[in-house]
Amino acid sequence: MASLVVVMVLLGAFIGHHQATEAARAFFVFGDSLVDNGNNNYLATTARADAPPYGVDYPTHRPTGRFSNGFNIPDFISLKIGSEPTLPYLSPELTGEKLLVGANFASAGIGVLNDTGVQFINIIRMYRQFQYFQQYQQRVAALIGEDQAKQLVNQALVLITVGGNDFVNNYYLVPFSARSRQYALPDYVTYVISEYRKLLLQLYDLGARRVLVTGTGPLGCVPAELALRSSNGQCSAELQRAAGLFNPQLIEMIKGLNSELGADIFIAVNTQQTHYNFITNPQAFGFVTSKVACCGQGPYNGLGLCTAASNLCPNRDIYAFWDAFHPSERANKMIVDQIHTGSTEYMYPMNLSTIMALDSRV
Ligand SMILES: *[C@@H]1O[C@H](CO)[C@@H](O)[C@H](O)[C@H]1NC(C)=O
Ligand SMILES: *[C@@H]1O[C@H](CO)[C@@H](O)[C@H](O)[C@H]1NC(C)=O
């Protein structure tokens, strides 16, 4: 009888523990500045967001390395899945139990291609983000054992956001860039997509089984491009053409991968559509403008960096763009709300709430 009680207690503890790990599903983030939580703070690079007014609306009101006035897209996803924000992989605080929350490997300035963002010098390119992910898995295996570590990775949610810089900080960085002399735009898009496909397969090989893959926003409509390339406030036609070619091919590539792998591993997030809604009708979303950045200088506040010397809007919630390239905290929240409950127009083949319901049943 006593031993039965012991078994029951142990079983209870086991079930309790199992539920606890389920509630705290790990979250891994890869990609560029849209999702970097502060890795670049630890690198010798000019692509950084570690000075005010970045972070002005973050709970600490201090810069963190996020390219936002407050939370960014991964932070809002962490909230949706009920976990704390992931730490940057390079943070010295990421040790022990904290490793089980997941990690953020993203680095501002990077692209699918290694030659994207060369001007930022020392940034963590995609192959290196994956090397760190392998190293992370070894550290977790040392903590909880090989099998548990593998399970933690297989059951995790993964986000990858990359590709915009392959246009902005490569093909269109300077007139007659090396890549634009090498490829016509449609051929370049095909090439970037084929390299992106290899990256997604590497993520699969590293154990990822639920991966949110975002497209690019409307690249030609960000304040930086309005300032640089537009005389009348219209989105840059060339960059819009690039995004218009890239995003649909990304979705097709993802469909192909899933059917090859026989499972819905990769989920296409149509950020182009969500952003486009803000841009065509900002007032409907409570923004006074989607053209002018909150922080910056020059036309549309779109030139140069956001620094302590820049114009800063008093109410960040009514601007769709925080700086010349990055959405405001409130726009980030709206993007993640679409990820969570959006229809198939925004999320293919399903949204995050459906993923969470499905995966909690396994
Ligand atoms: C990027 O560089 C790494 C390391 O040198 C290499 O393994 C990888 O194939 C390169 N990727 C591309 C797209 O050239
Ligand atoms: C997305 O989420 C909503 C509710 O949260 C649900 O009703 C809807 O069916 C979902 N759509 C897809 C395509 O998964």
Q: Is residue 80 part of a domain?
A: yes
Q: What's the mean per-residue pLDDT of the chain?
A: 92
Instruction: Verify whether ligand 2 is closer than 6 Å to residue 345 (CB atom).
Output: no
3-state secondary structure of 28: strand
DSSP-based three-state secondary structure for 347: strand
343 lines ligand 2 (CB under 6 A): yes
pLDDT of residue 333: 97
User: Phi and psi at residue 90, in whole multiples of 5°?
Assistant: -80, -5
Q: Which of 154, 158, 128 is nearest to 269 (CA)?
A: 158
At residue 146, the pLDDT reads 97
- Residue from 114, 123, 162, 197 whose mutation best tests the ligand 1 pocket (most atoms within 8 A of CB): 114
Tell me if 331 is assigned to some domain: no
Tell me the C-alpha distance between 333 and 335, whole Å.
5
Q: Rounded to whole angstroms, how far apart are CA atoms 181 and 193?
A: 18
Domain contains 329 = no
Please tell me the residue having the least CA distance from ligand 2 atom 5: 341
What CATH number does the domain containing 167 carry? 3.40.50
Location of structure tokens 């891994």: 28
- Atom in ligand 1 nearest the alpha carbon of residue 198: 13
Give the three-class secondary structure for 85.
Answer: coil
Domain count, the chain: 1
Residues forming the active site: 33, 323, 326
Q: Which ligand sits closest to the CA of 202?
A: 1
Residues 6+ positions from 347 with CB-CB distance below 8 Å: 267, 268, 269, 270, 338, 339
**Closest to 226 measured CA to CA, from 288, 312, 301:** 301
Residue 312 inside a domain? The answer is no
Read off φ and ψ for residue 276, nearest 5 degrees: -60, -35
Region 155-170: what's the mean pLDDT?
A: 97
Position 362 confidence tier, pLDDT thresholds 50, 70, 90: low
Interval between CA 361 and ligand 2 midpoint (Å) = 17
Residue 1 — very low, low, confident or very high, per pLDDT cuts 50/70/90?
very low
* Distance of alpha carbon 14 from alpha carbon 17, whole angstroms: 5
pLDDT of amino acid 231: 82
Expressed in angstroms and rounded, the spacing between residue 2 Cα and the centre of ligand 1 is 61
Question: For residue 54, is it within any domain?
Answer: yes
Q: Give the number of the ligand closest to the Cα of residue 193.
A: 1
| Predicted confidence (pLDDT) at residue 108 exceeds the cutoff of 90 | yes
270 lines ligand 2 (CB under 6 A): no
Distance in angstroms (rounded) separating the CA atoms of residues 68 and 108: 12
Residue 5 forms part of a structural domain:
no
What is each CA distance from 321 to 78, 91, 94, 205, in whole angstroms? Answer: 22, 27, 30, 36
Reported confidence tier of residue 2, pLDDT bands at 50, 70, 90? very low
Q: Which residues contact 201 (CB under 8 A, 6 or more apart)?
A: 257
Burial of residue 180 (CB within 10 Å: 0-12, 13-18, 19+) is middle
Assess whether pLDDT exceeds 90 at residue 271: no
Instruction: Give residue-wise pLDDT tens across range 314-326.
Output: 999 999 999 999 9
- Whether residue 75 is predicted with pLDDT greater than 60 in this model: the reply is yes
Which listed ligand is nearest to 196 at the C-alpha? 1
Position 19 in a domain: no
E strand residue ranges, the chain: 27-31, 102-104, 157-161, 211-214, 266-269, 295-296, 311-312, 347-348
Range of the domain at 87: 27-268
3-state secondary structure of 220: helix
Flag whether pLDDT at 18 surpasses 50. no
d(CA 332, CA 69): 10
Kindly report the protein residue whose alpha carbon is nearest to atom 7 of ligand 2. Answer: 341
Give pLDDT, residue 22.
44
Q: Specify if 289 maps to a domain.
A: no
Residue labelled with tokens 């890239």: 246
**Residue 9: predicted pLDDT:** 41
Distance between Cα 123 and ligand 1 center (Å): 14
Ligand 2 centroid, distance to 341 Cα (angstroms): 5
Distance (angstroms) between ligand 1 centre and the Cα of 114 equals: 6
Q: Ligand 2 pocket test: pick from 343, 352, 356, 358 the residue with the most ligand atoms within 8 Å of its Cβ.
A: 343
Ranges of beta strands (E only) in 207-310 are 211-214, 266-269, 295-296
Three-class SS of residue 224?
helix
pLDDT in tens, 187-239: 999 999 999 999 999 999 999 999 999 999 899 999 999 999 988 899 999 99
Percent of the chain residues topping a pLDDT of 90 = 86
pLDDT at 19 over 50: no
Q: Which two three-digit tokens encode residue 316?
A: 């960040």
Residue 62, SS3 per DSSP:
coil
pLDDT band at 113 (very low <50, low <70, confident <90, very high): very high
From CA 227, how far away is CA 223, in angstroms rounded? 6
**Could you tell me which of 117, 325, 309 has the C-alpha nearest to residue 224?**
325
Which residue is closest in CA terms to ligand 2's atom 1? 341
Average pLDDT, integer, range 289-300: 97
